[in-house]
Structure formats: C-alpha cells, structure tokens
Structure 1
Amino acid sequence: MNRLIQPLINVKELLQLASTQKLTLIDARYGYSDYEKEHLDGAIHVDLNKDLSNVGENPAQGGRHPLPSTSSFVDRLGRLGISPENHVIVYDDKSAAIAAARFWWMLRAVGHKKIQVLDGGFQAAKMLGFPTNDKRPTPQPLSTYPSNSWQLPVAELEEVSKASQQASQQIIDVREVERYKGIKEPIDKIAGHIPGAINLPFTENLDENGFFLPKTTLRDKYLKAFNGSPTDKIIVHCGSGVTACHTLLAISQAGLNLPKLYVGSWSEWSRNNLPIATEK
C-alpha cells in the first residue's frame, strides 16, 4: 500500500522525478485560456468550477464552490487517467491558492496517497527550465477511481454555528485581514466574519517570493495557533472553501493532522441570516 508522501514538491525534485518516472501533471490554473497558450509539458487541465465544484444557483446552500458529489469526482478522475497508483503533481499560478490546494485536498479526501503540490507553481517551474508548450495531451481513460466517500473531515453549517458559540471549538478564517474585519467585501454580499473566529490569512503561509515557509516554521506557527486544541475541534474556512485548502496544505506540510474544512465558508454563512462580527 502506498504511503503518504510530502504534500509539497519543489521544482528541482520535479525535474529529477520527471526524468526517471512517469508522472501525472495537473494544471489547475483558473480558466482554460492560459493553459491553451502554454503549460508544463504533459499537463492536463482541471477547472475549479467544472471539475472541482458543483456550482449551483444558490450559494446559501453550500457556498460558491460546493464540493461535487464523490461519484462525480471519481468519475472525472477516471477520465483523467488517474488510478490509485499514479503519482500526481498539481500546480497553479497563485502559489497554490486558486485551485491546486483544493485539488490536493480532494484527491487526498478520496484516499489517494501520491499527490503533491508544486511549490512556486507554474512560474517557478518555467523559470528553472521545466519544458512548456501548448500541446494538449489526451488522457487515457480508466475505470472510475475506486472510492465512494470523502475521507477527510468536513464541517457543515449547523456544526459551524454551534462551534462559534463554544469556547472549546476553534474556527480559523484564512481570508485577508480587511475582509475578516468587515472593512471590505469584494465578492460576497455582507462583510465581516463568523463570531469567535480567529484570522490567520493564508498568505502568511508563504514567504516574500510566494513559496511556502519551511516545514518547521509552519509547524511552530500552527501549534501556537491551535493552542493545544485537538484538530477535530478546529474548523478552517475562507470565502468559498478553496483557499482554506491552502492552509490545510500548509498544516499537512507541517506534519500535523488536518482540521475540518468548512466548504460553504463565508459565502454560505453570510447568506443565512446568521450572526456576523466586524472589527472596523
């Protein structure tokens, strides 16, 4: 049985691996146009809205990027040619914050072991000489990926509502400070945050060049933030359940167990007439 590998891989490691074994490269940049123009050689594109979400008409039920059904996702994995044996590496062009971390979390959640996110993403790979082109490979479809449930912890709206009223629970909001404080809200209808939530912006997982902080630094950061709370008492959210996965990726890279992901996040909470806190 495959063991879990490090969640992050750097470009030098990728170049070495690519020269010795077959990898499945996934391009998770937002939109298809950039992929069409240029992508890492051999990469297959996945779309946040079409492949990694079940976008509906009512964000009050599940948020702006609710998870697709497990059956839909594992069917898509089969059509991408991904089996449990594949070594999958995913990248985007926003330090994993757009969809690379979300794809990593989803693949982990269906039980896949060999999945890594490329630290530094497309830009770092291109800068260090990984070949790029505009060729679109055709995946060799396989049977549906063998999984029938999400195996990583998630929290639903009712649980988050109860947690916001309990000192024994911890809610982490990874949006930028101004959105958390309610100073601005460029996407959702109402500004503010879930009462009781603390703010740890996902951007603070990165250094000034857009690479993830060292493992020991991330570990110290999150052990301090957790303040002794077990991870099953911690819920992580963002605007719509995408960049929250960036923080879950950082926590996993730190060698810690994963807290719960609130997929609906602020986009769901703010549309359900629930209490809202601000710090203006």
Structure 2
Amino acid sequence: MNNLSPLISPQELLSLQNDTHLFIFDASNSAASKARYSQEHLQGAFWIDLDTEIATIDPDLSKGGRHPLPSLENFSATLTKFGLKPEHKVIIYDEESAGNAAARLWWMLRAVGHEYVRVVDGGYQAAKSAGYSLSNDKPIHHNSQKYICNSWNLPLVNMQDMDEIIKDDSYRIVDVRVDFRYKGIMEPIDLIAGHIPGAVNSPYPDNLDKSGFYLPKDEMKAKYENIMKGYSPDKVVFYCGSGVSACHSILAIAHAGLSIPKIYMGSWSEWSRNNRPMILKK
C-alpha cells in the first residue's frame, strides 16, 4: 500500500480541478442519486453503478450475497470502457460520506493496483459546498488500451474460509452494521436478523463526525487499535451486509495509517442464506 491518504478534503480537491490527469467517479447508490446525477454532478464525473459495475449479482443471492465482486475480467472491461489509465488520479465520491459505495470502489481499485485513488471526505455535498464546479453533462468515454486487472491484491476471505475462522480464537471478526442489525433486533434488508458467531460490533457510521467527515487520523487510529488490540492484521476480518459498508471501515483503517485487515465480501447476505451458524439475537 502506498503512503497516499485514501481521503481527499474538498479544499484539496478544488485545487486539483484543472489537473488533466484527474478522473472522477460518482459512486452514489440510489434511484434519487441517479436522478440527481442527471441534473448535476461534479464536473467531469462518471456515474458508476454499484449493482452492475462495482458488483456482479447472481440471481441466487446465496452465491456471493447481494454485492459480490465482479470477475477480474468484468472489472477490467468496466475500467477499459470508462477509459481509465494507470496514471489517472482517481477521485471517488458518493452521497453518504463514502458509505455507499465510494469506499467499495476505492477498495477495488487499490486491490487491482491503481496507485492514486482517493475518496472525497464529506462526499458530494461537501465538494459542492466547497465550490467545486457542477455540470449536467455526461463526460465522454474515451476507450483506450485495456486496463489490466490481474488479481485482487488486498486481503480477502470467502465463506469457506469463514467456516474455519469462526472456530479459531486467534481471529477477531468485526461486524460494521448498525447495532440493531448486529443484535438481531431487526433486519431491514436480508432474510434473517443476527450476526456471525464470535463477531464484535463496530458500526461504520461511527467512523464519521456529526458533520459527516471522517474522524481525525489520530482519533481513528486509537479507535481501531482498541478494536483490533491483541490481534495481528492478518487475523482480523471485517464484514457487513453485502461487502459495501465494510469497505468504509477498511478505508478508515487506511486513513489511520494501520495495516489493512481482511474483508469477507459475501458478508451477512451470503452467510445467512447458506445455513451457517448464526447468533440470532443478542
């Protein structure tokens, strides 16, 4: 992992506005966000779709959950279609302070080796408020050479790995969903409420301050050192509902300057559909 901060402030982004190597993705994920994009977005930003480009969804959600990673071949084709090149400075934003789905795209681009990838701290509204130019024009796709994606180079585990991890006390499992989902009180999205055995809860919205910006680096470092205390990074696994918001916490850890832990991308949406051990109410 390079030493570049995974976050960029709206003010620093403003200073890069005329950089010819800038490449911006709007990774907001909702029907309202897509309608907003057609009306206004950061100038030059490409819309990228969570369900069809950041994920490849199987009709059978027991196979990978709600947002499984696309194949490397498909992700390569997506990046090639946009005209992305390795030398581009990629900036990503969404409307939920990286929660849906800017951090996920950040993880994916870093995992395939793109060097300059940063997420707008505070998201779309913060960049807009800072005075970044807006547009309703759709940028033109400039297909160029194929963007090569050889492997996912950040730590990943699958459901079969998790079968063994839950039996191993040397692992720390962290569920980043909000507490009522973790506790099994209510499940608004998936079929069953609960969590993976042995998991502790650290809700990803707690990575943000009241204004929707990531906590300062030192504060974030103390927070995650406490959560992961006594565990080496290769023995820590983060998960969420479908492998999107867990990336928000992994980005927070990178922001803190700590080693990137593993992610279980299938997360609860896959686990709970496969008759795996579950804690249904806590």
In structure 2, distance between residues paired with 1:68 and 1:225? 30
What aligned pairs does 1:214-233 form with structure 2 within 5 A after superposition? 214-233=216-235
TM-superposed CA distance for 1:3, in Å, is 4.5
What stretches of structure 1 of length at least 5 have no aligned partner? none
Aligned counterpart in structure 2 of residue 146 of structure 1, from 145, 148, 169: 148
- Which residue of structure 2 lines up, in the alignment, with residue 17 of structure 1? 16
Query: Which sits farther off after the overlay, 46-55 or 147-156?
Result: 147-156
Q: Distance in 2 between matches of 1:20 and 1:51?
A: 26
Q: Deviations over 1:64-123 (max 9, x none)?
A: 100000111012111111111110000000010001001000000100110000001110
What is the CA-CA distance between 1:137 and the residue it aligns to?
A: 0.8
**Partner secondary structure for residue 51 of structure 1:** helix
Query: How many angstroms apart in 2 are the aligned matches of 1:136 and 1:185?
Result: 37
Q: Over aligned residues, Cα RMSD in angstroms?
A: 1.3
Q: What SS does structure 1 have at the residue aligned with 2:92?
A: strand
For 2:163, which of 161, 164, 171 is the aligned residue? 161
Deviations 1:191-228 (A, max 9, x none): 00001000000001000111000011111111111112
- Cα shift at 1:9: 0.2
Q: Normalising by the residue count of structure 1, what TM-score does the alignment of the two structures yield? A: 0.97
Q: CA deviation at 1:59?
A: 1.1
| d(CA) in 1 for partners of 2:148, 2:19 | 27
Q: How many residues align?
A: 279
Matches for 1:1-280 after TM superposition, within 5 Å: 3-30=2-29, 31=31, 32-280=34-282
The residue type paired with residue 16 of structure 1 is S
CA contact (8 A) 1:38 1:133 kept: yes
Q: Secondary structure of the equivalent of 2:50?
A: coil
Deviation at 1:17, TM superposition (A): 1.5
Shift of 1:145: 1.1
Q: Distance in 2 between matches of 1:272 and 1:102?
A: 24
Counterpart amino acid of 1:264?
A: G
Structure 1: how far apart are the matches of 2:137 and 2:162?
Answer: 44
What is the deviation of 1:62?
Answer: 0.6
Q: Is the 8 A contact 1:4 1:114 kept in 2?
A: no
Deviations 1:130-163 (A, max 9, x none): 1112111112112221221111111010111211
Q: Is the 8 A contact 2:21 2:87 kept in 1?
A: no
Structure 1 stretch displaced more, 31-40 or 192-201? 31-40
| Paired residue secondary structure (1:194) | coil
Q: Given that residues 103 and 251 in structure 2 are in contact (C-alpha distance below 8 angstroms), is that contact kept between their aligned partners in structure 1?
A: yes
In 1, Cα distance between the equivalents of 2:223 and 2:90?
28
Amino acid paired to 2:186: K
Instruction: Indicate the larger mover: 15-24 or 168-177.
Output: 15-24
Aligned-partner SS, 2:238: strand
Q: Percent identity?
A: 47
Q: Using the alignment, how far apart are the partners of 1:128 and 1:170 within structure 2?
A: 39
Matched letter for residue 210 of structure 1: G
Distance, in Å, in 2 between the alignment partners of 1:134 and 1:22 is 21
Deviation at 1:20, TM superposition (A): 4.6
TM-score normalized with structure 2 length:
0.96
Moved more, 17-26 or 99-108: 17-26
